């Protein structure tokens, strides 16, 4: 009994220690994660590491880094702070920046909830963090995540985009790269005014 208690205590300590390490070292989770509403009433969003089937559409299996070329390149030097790339310009040294937000280790889950907020409960959305950055403007820094978002819409239909996301609130700051479709003969989405003012 004593042994079991000791082992349990050890496991708990290790788990807590790992969690503490994760939060404080802002471990960046680069894996794809799938989000879905648990019930039709959408009381709770659940998530899991994306399955192989879910990933086949979005993941590139032949990841290849740039190779050195025979010509010199003019790529700008990447400046980082705490493992995050700095984007934008500031006269203030990076270490002296004031912060307009703070890192939330659950930003991805918060984002998943927001992405599913107005979706059918059967909808699944995949989210992947590509990189983390600090957007600097004047003397302020904002923590942001660069993500790819893909809604699985049934069959081989998807709807994707890439975005900057606030690392604290999970808000979409800026989006681009939306799917371009050729909906032949499909009824166009339309809206009916309820009246005029």
Partner 1 sequence: MICFGMVISTLLFSSSCVTDSANSSRKSQGAVSNSPSSVGPGEGRVLQDNPIVASGNANLPHDTSLVTYLQREPVKIIDSQFLTSTCGTSVTSSGLANINDCVKVSQNKNATQFNSPTSKWAYPVGTTEFLQVNTFYHIQKGMTLHHDNMKGLYNHTWGAVDFPQPFSSYDTAMPKFVWSNKGHWKLDPDNQTLKAFADCDLNNNAYYDPATFSLCFGYDQVFKEVKFAQDDTVIYHELGHALNDIMLNVRNKSAALTEATSLGYFFYDEAGSLGEGLADFASYIIELRTMFGEWALGRFNVAARPMSEREPIHVAGLAPNEDSRLLYPTYLTYDPNDPASVNEDIHYAGQIISHYLVALAEDFESQCSMSKQVAANYVMKIVMEAMAELGDLTSQGGDTRAVGYINHSAAHAHDWIRHIKPITYRSFSQSLAKYTMRLMGNPTLNLCNGTVYNRDRLEKLIDSYGLLLFRSYNEVGNAVGSVRTSETQVTPTNRLKSTLAPKELLIFDPRENASKAFVFDGRADMLNALESMTDISISSQIDGDLKFNNGNAKISPGELVGLSLNLYNNSNSTMSGIQVLANDWDHVKWEDTVNPKPYKQGKFCNNFGDEFPIIAEGGADSSTEGGSSAGECKYITRQNGDEANEQLAPVCMVQINETNSTKWALQEELRLKLSLEASNCLGGSTSTQDCFIRAVKGADSSWFSKIDPQETWGNTLATSSGVPQFNFSNIIFFEVSPWIPPGTTFNCRFRARFVNCEDCYEEKISGKYDEFLDYEFSGGKPFQVVNFQFTVID
Site for partner 1 in 53-92 (CB under 8 A): 53, 56-64, 66, 69-76, 78, 87-89
Q: Are 136 and 80 in contact (CB under 8 A)?
A: no
160 binds partner 1 per the rule CB under 8 A: yes
- Single out the segment in contact with partner 1 by CB under 8 A; choices: 1-9, 10-18, 20-28, 114-122: 114-122
Helix (H, G, I), strand (E, B) or coil at 166: strand
One character per residue 121-150, x = contact with partner 1 (rule: CB under 8 A): -------x-xx-x---xx-------x-xxx
3-state secondary structure at position 168: coil
Binding residues for partner 1 restricted to 94-113, rule: CB under 8 A: 100
Which tokens sit at 72?
């010199």
Residue 151, interface with partner 1 (CB under 8 A)? yes
Subset of 8-37 contacting partner 1 (CB under 8 A): none
User: Least distance to partner 1 from the beta carbon of 139, Å?
Assistant: 9
Beta bridge mates, 85: 80, 133
Q: Are 44 and 121 in contact (CB under 8 A)?
A: no
161 burial level (CB within 10 Å; 0-12, 13-18, 19+): middle
Residue 185 is a binding residue for partner 1 (CB under 8 A): yes
């Amino acid at each position: 009994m004593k042994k079991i208690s000791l082992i349990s205590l050890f496991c708990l300590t290790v788990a807590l220690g790992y969690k503490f390490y994760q939060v404080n070292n802002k471990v960046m989770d680069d894996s794809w994660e799938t989000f879905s509403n648990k019930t039709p009433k959408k009381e709770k969003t659940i998530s899991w590491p994306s399955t192989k089937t879910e990933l086949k559409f979005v993941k590139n299996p032949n990841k290849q880094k740039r190779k050195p070329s025979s010509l010199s390149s003019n790529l700008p030097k990447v400046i980082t702070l705490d493992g995050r790339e700095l984007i934008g310009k500031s006269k203030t040294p990076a270490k002296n920046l004031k912060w307009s937000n703070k890192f939330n280790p659950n930003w991805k889950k918060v984002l998943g909830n927001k992405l599913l907020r107005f979706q059918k409960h059967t909808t699944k959305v995949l989210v992947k963090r590509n990189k983390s950055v600090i957007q600097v403007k004047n003397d302020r820094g904002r923590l942001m995540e660069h993500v790819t978002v893909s809604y699985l819409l049934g069959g081989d239909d998807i709807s994707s985009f890439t975005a900057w996301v606030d690392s604290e609130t999970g808000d979409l700051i800026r989006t681009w790269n939306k799917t371009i479709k050729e909906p032949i003969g499909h009824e166009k989405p339309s809206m009916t005014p309820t009246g005029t003012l």
